[in-house]
Structures are given as C-alpha cells and as structure tokens.
Amino acid sequence: MSDNTGSNLGTGQGIFGQKVADDLQFKSLVGGTGVTLSADANEITINSSSLVSSATNLGAGTGLFVDLTTGSLNFRGIALGTGADSGLKISSNATTVLLSIDSANLNAGTLGGLASSAFLQKSDNLAAVTNVSTARTNLGVYSKTETDAKYFANDSSSLPATDNAVALGDNSKRFSDVYAVELHGTATRSGVVTSIADHNIGELQNVDETGKAAGHVLKYDGTNWVSVVDGGATNLGALTDVEASGAANGQVLMYISANSRWEAGTVSGGGGGGSSTFVGLTDSPANYSGAGNYFLKVNSGASAIEFVADPGYVSDLSTFTTANLTENTNL
C-alpha cells in the first residue's frame, strides 16, 4: 500500500484529522445547542431544532411586528403623517429610530379639528376680533387706560374711586410695614409708636386743649381729655380761677367778676381780718372829722349810716324846752 495521506478542501472547519500508519482518522460531527445531526449511507443531515415561529411587540403603543410568513419576519414601516407640514421628522442612528417635532416647519393647519383661522395670531394684532372691548371684558383683560384707572401706580398719586369705602388690608390680611411721611385720619390702634415727631397731642381726636396753662394736666371728663389744674397742687395760684400774682401782706382773696376769677386785693376801709373801728366799715362815715355831738342816722336811701346834727340839741338841759323839739301835734 502506498504512503497516502488526506486533506481538507475549502476554508471551513475541516473534518480530516490525521493519518496514523495506514489509518486515516477524521473528526466527528457533533450537533451544538439547537442543532441535530442525522446520517444515512451516503449523507449527513444537519437540522436546527430552534426555529423562529413568531415575534412580540413590547409596550402599549402601536406594534411594529406584523406576522411571520414562510420564515420571514414582517414589520411595519415608520413614516411621517399626511403632508410635509405635519410638524414631525424622522431620523435614525445605528440602533434607534427617532421621531421629533420639526418646529421650523410646524404649521398648525388644524388644531382640535379647528382651522388656523379660528385662533388669534400675534401678527394680526387683534384685527380679526370684531369687538375688542367686548373681547377684553369676556376674557377679563383690561386696557392700559383701564388698568391705570383701576390700580395704584407707583410713579404717580393715586386716589380711590369713592370716599371712605376701600380698605387697605384688614385684621386677618395685614401689611407688615407701611412707610409714609404723613398719615392723616383716625388711628384706632397702634401696637408700638416709636415717634410722633412734628405732631401735637392736641391733634388727637379726643383731646381738648382749651384753657391749657403751665402746670396743667390732662383729665378725662367722660368724653374727652381736657386741660385742668394738677390735682396735686399745693398753692392757690395753681387753680385755674385764682390769680395770686402780686399778692401782698394783709390782702385778701376776692372774686372779680369782670375777670371771672379770684384775685389778691385789699378790702377798702379795713384790714384783711375785718374792721376793728366804726369808721373802717364800708357803709359808715370814713372818719369823725366835724361830727362832734352829731347823731347816728340811717340815710334816706336806707343803704348806709350817716352823722346828722339835731337842731334842738342844747348842751345844758336846764335851758332845754319844747321849743327845741319839733312838736307838731305830738305835744
């Protein structure tokens, strides 16, 4: 026998292994996972036991898989909607198909079944609105003029539409701080007042400064706080109806109706404690000059005492006769 050997043809996996002496040795064929081998006298058949019989769409969207026909997996294609202005565009990379909005070419021909003419366009400047004023009212939109008249501006003076009707906050919705040079009106309560500079206490609604004077205090009379003499006064001069300036020794306190007050003064004809002599009285003669041997008599007006001389007076009773008396019919 000649010294022959074997060889594998082609570029695939060869089955000839080697020649040992006169023995030609070949490799065995083994079926891998999902592959089976069968042989007869002339052939070796390789069969696959794992055939693709179906496919599944994942997720809840519209599936791309259609069916399996004669070993072919059939999938739906991905395309844009009707018209080039659908606003979508398709792109892809090695692993992903991308759908995105083509904002540069988006044209809302219809939206919710309505044509674009049903919507306001910025370029139209509200020209398509038949009644702009009514449209603003229905939409709750104010014009610039209406807004300036309705809201407080921060660059000019603002006045409410009606007097004493509009509140600025309330007990439950308050402003934390209010800064102003002057506040006018009635202040009902202030938690803390750090300064009332440039304001007088008499400007308060329930304070009456009438008749105020040095040394007075404010006293509540049931309605207002009024100016009165300090209740702790220790001298007459502190009383509002007493004028003690210029008081001198021996004077008394007398009421002067022309001034509506008590003033220090001297009682005419007497001392401060009353007269100790007859002529010191105000309703009697001022002195005795020239009134020797006169009688004391009430004057004809019945308002004072006066001295009178008796025409029938004689110093010696021995010479006194009825001729010295006015006898009339009384003799």
- Look up residue 128 and give its DSSP letter: T
- Residues 56-112 have pLDDT tens digits of 888 777 888 888 887 788 888 887 776 555 677 888 888 788 888 777 766 666 677
CA–CA separation, 153 and 85 (whole Å): 47
Is 328 part of a structural domain of the chain? yes
Bridge pairing between strands 97-101 and 110-111 = unpaired
Q: How many CB atoms lie within 10 A of CB 225?
A: 17
Please state the rounded mean pLDDT for residues 27-43: 84
- Residues 189-224 have pLDDT tens digits of 766 777 777 778 888 889 999 988 888 888 899 999
Residues shown for the chain: 331
CA–CA separation, 52 and 233 (whole Å): 120
Predicted confidence at residue 157, as pLDDT, reads: 84
Please state the rounded mean pLDDT for residues 145-159: 83
Number of helices (H), then strands (E), belonging to the chain: the values are 2, 18
Is 264 part of a structural domain of the chain? no
Range of the domain at 298: 282-331
Q: What is the mean pLDDT of the chain?
A: 79
Is 313 part of a structural domain of the chain? yes
Predicted confidence at residue 79, as pLDDT, reads: 78
**Do 8 and 14 meet the contact criterion of CB atoms below 8 Å apart?**
yes
Is 52 part of a structural domain of the chain? no
CA distances from 273 to 251, 253, 256 (A): 9, 11, 19
Is 173 part of a structural domain of the chain? no
Q: How many domains does the chain have?
A: 1
Tokens of 119: 């919507």
Is 286 part of a structural domain of the chain? yes
Please state the rounded mean pLDDT for residues 165-179: 88
Predicted confidence at residue 224, as pLDDT, reads: 92
β-bridge partners, 22: none
Is 295 part of a structural domain of the chain? yes
- Look up residue 288 and give its DSSP letter: -
Residue 271 confidence class, pLDDT cut points 50, 70, 90: very low
By mean pLDDT, which of 120-124, 232-236, 258-262, 312-316 is the weakest?
Answer: 312-316
What is the CA angle 51-56-58, rounded to 5? 145
CA–CA separation, 116 and 97 (whole Å): 31
Is 323 part of a structural domain of the chain? yes
